[in-house]
Structure 1
Amino acid sequence: MTIYKSEAGAALLRERYLDTLQSWPVPHDEVRVPTSEGETFVLVSGPAEAPALVLLHGSGSNSSEWTARIPALAGRFRVYAVDIIGEPGLSAEARPPLDGDRYARWLDAVLDHFGVGRAGFLASSFGGWVALDFAIRRPGRVAALALRCPVGLGPMKKGFVVKAVLLGLLGEKGRRKAVAGAVGEPESSPVVAQQLLVAANYRYRTGPFPVFGDEVLGRLTMPVYAVAGADDAMVDSVTTKRRLEAAGAVVDLLPGTGHYLPGDADLDFLTRSAANGDFTT
């Protein structure tokens, strides 16, 4: 089954994304990488000799998520913004099972294509799950791990789903309110408008994300920093913080903040990690 609700919806989301790429704020290359899961779209920016940094966006998104941040990131790193497969970007629609190593093998192929043996990772939400899975399975390839509201650590909040369903019964106004509550943004926010457009045309992944056990989290050998919203309506951020700190990570919990996070404290962490030699192969 296609990940889109209609061909017209797929075309609309693709057109919006391509429009965004026209105004990508730094010089870049658009590369289509062949993998066993299908073609993968990657935006490459920043100096070729700089430390490698991989960006992984959240669910229902694509690399346009990083538009506002790319000037600062590309000023310090060779940035590979990857459209995750099975999401509404320009990569293949494939959705391998989450309980195997196929996402890790997919990222192996992406890194190998660019000759990158080791990289830092900056990832949000579902992208955080993908990055964590890769770091656990391929610790030697991950120099530093910066996570923003990652899933797969704290349980998803069931009350959010019930509330979203009930609000959805109220039509457009209810759906807007549900999305605003989910991301923790005002109903007038462009972030809310974009997520409403995606939800109208895209089929989100169903079923819970696998939760990483304490034993596998203990395999994280690289520096790890995470930031999460204390008022996240979807994910139990307190549990996320507790479990990551037990694994040796540094975690900031932002008060009055939901799933959509402001700020760039992770850039300081990644810059320090690079200066400390963590990116060296």
Structure 2
Amino acid sequence: MSGIYRSEAGGLLVRERYLANLALWPVDNDQWRIPTPEGETFVIASGQVTAPPLVLLHGSGSNSAEWASRIPELARHFRVYAIDMIGEPGLSAPSRPDMNSDAYALWLDAVLDHLELARVPIMAFSLGSWLAVDYATRRPERVDRLSLFCPTGIGRQKRGFLLAAILLNSLGRWGKRKTVTGMLGPGVPAMEAAEAEAFLDQVLLVSRHYRYRSEELPVFGDVTLRRLTMPVQVFAGERDVLFDAVGTARRIAATVPHATVRLLPGVGHVVPPRPEAELAFLAGAAPGGVA
């Protein structure tokens, strides 16, 4: 575990916080540890067993607790499988295979095979969206549709904010909180006060103890993106300081013309839930266009 953490003790603190959050999971659920080529993978399943499936993939430096506020509504319509990504601060293996290889696709193959899911819709955020796109371009027959939030690997990765973050982080807890809110954007202040405070504390805890991925994320080429023949829905925050949301929207519009792309003004890297649009798409509403 210590490989992705600054210390074994720090990793235990992050794990204990996650376990406490799981104890507050808002609906009845099943929890599994699934064997894969990259080690065990932790999955939380919510909703009726007979409901259509939906797979959730969280973002970088996070875990499936990221989806807790969305779960009650999603679980009314789907059998929801929230998967802790490998190499992230959840309960899955710390493995981080080469992102330019097919290792992540083979990993997700193993998870879906174990769950006996032949074809699924995927909802994903940030790094999870990268993984979802990688999988969908390699295994299009297994992905029914993609609902992506602030996807990475499409638009340019920004570096300017990192310089401001280094300065702010030198100013103690206040500066670190300013870094987090600046990085994640107006979506955090839009939360209820208690939820926003808990969210910020979680991000600060992880940032103290977790080693974020340092490598550049592979960028998908146009030929690869054109393999996304399934329905695609994208939400991106126009004020995202981490990735070029406008560039992301343009590339998707050019390479996946059937996709629905929603570029949200005044929104950063955290996109507030839009349950009506999300559910309509996941339930099979026809996509199309840039909004």
TM bracket, shorter-chain basis: over 0.9
Deviations 1:55-105 (A, max 9, x none): 000000000001010011111111110000000000000000100000000
Structure-2 residue corresponding to 1:115: 116
1-structure distance, mates of 2:14, 2:163: 27
Provide the secondary structure at the position in 1 that maps to 2:98. Answer: coil
Corresponding letter in the other structure for 1:207:
E
Equivalences for residues 235-254 of structure 1 within 5 A: 235-246=243-254, 247-248=256-257, 249-254=259-264
- CA contact 1:167–1:177 (8 Å) conserved in 2: yes
Cα displacement (A) at 1:165 = 1.4
- CA contact 2:99–2:218 (8 Å) conserved in 1: yes
Structure-1 residue corresponding to 2:218: 210
The normalised TM-score by structure 1 is 0.94
Structure-2 residue corresponding to 1:269: 281
Cα displacement (A) at 1:169 = 2.2
- CA contact 1:118–1:141 (8 Å) conserved in 2: yes
- CA contact 2:70–2:273 (8 Å) conserved in 1: no
Provide the secondary structure at the position in 1 that maps to 2:284. Answer: helix
- CA contact 1:3–1:93 (8 Å) conserved in 2: yes
Cα displacement (A) at 1:268 = 2.1
Residue segments in structure 2 that go unaligned for 5+ positions in a row = 287-291
Equivalences for residues 44-59 of structure 1 within 5 A: 44-59=45-60
1-structure distance, mates of 2:110, 2:279: 26
Cα displacement (A) at 1:269 = 1.0
Instruction: Give the RMSD, CA atoms, in angstroms.
Output: 1.4
The normalised TM-score by structure 2 is 0.91
Alignment of 1:170 onto 2:171: yes
How many percent identity over aligned positions? 55
Alignment of 1:227 onto 2:235: yes
Structure-2 residue corresponding to 1:279: none
2-structure distance, mates of 1:155, 1:267: 29
Provide the secondary structure at the position in 1 that maps to 2:74. Answer: helix
1-structure distance, mates of 2:129, 2:79: 20
Provide the secondary structure at the position in 2 that maps to 1:272. Answer: coil
1-structure distance, mates of 2:172, 2:28: 42
Residue segments in structure 1 that go unaligned for 5+ positions in a row = 277-281
In the TM superposition, structure 1's runs of 4+ consecutive aligned residues that sit over 4 Å from their partners are none
1-structure distance, mates of 2:8, 2:75: 34
Cα displacement (A) at 1:186 = 4.1
Equivalences for residues 194-205 of structure 1 within 5 A: 194-205=202-213
Provide the secondary structure at the position in 1 that maps to 2:20. Answer: helix
Cα displacement (A) at 1:266 = 2.1
Task: Name whichever of 21-30 and 260-269 sits farther off.
Answer: 260-269
Corresponding letter in the other structure for 1:31:
W
Cα displacement (A) at 1:272 = 2.5
How many residues end up aligned between the 2 structures?
Answer: 274
Corresponding letter in the other structure for 2:140:
P
Structure-2 residue corresponding to 1:14: 15
